[in-house]
Amino acid sequence: MRPAPWRTTRRPTSTARPRARRATPPGSAPSSSSGWTTAKTHFAAIKDAFDTKPLTVDCSCKKSYYAYVYPNQPYKIYVCSAFWSAPMTGTDSKGGTLIHEMSHFTAVAGTDDHVYGQSGAKSLAISNPTNALDNADNHEYFAENTPFLQ
């Protein structure tokens, strides 16, 4: 089942319609060379989008979640109230949120939100590496925590 036409970063605290979050979590690796190829392709596309595409960050959202995008409307990220209290870098950061959202665009990596949070992302990488490569939180945590911080 495909998610709603827009996605949010992290589970919304309200009952709003948005859905949100693909890569491997800290300390985990794709289980095959094709998994590594997919992950590298996704991160190259994410970097290219930030470096060369006309990115718009819309700050008008007042909802309680972090951010959302419309996957078929690339390069416009809507940031919401929770985004502003996140740290700039590190786990669950502003930077990680932007990577998470950028990964959702079909023109970039087309990720989904199979699970949220570090525990969910790590479990997904173990139980279903294919879905982990399609989960935006896995991309976020890999980017935020690589190299792995002990």
Strands 56-58 and 7-8: unpaired
Is 140 noted as a catalytic residue in this protein? Answer: no
Residue at 120: amino acid letter: G
Burial class (CB in 10 A: 0-12, 13-18, 19+), 72: exposed
**Among residues 92, 101, 134, 144, which one is catalytic?**
101
For 91-109, b/e burial (b = at least 16 CB within 10 A) is: ebbbebbbbbbbbbbeebb
Catalytic residues: 101
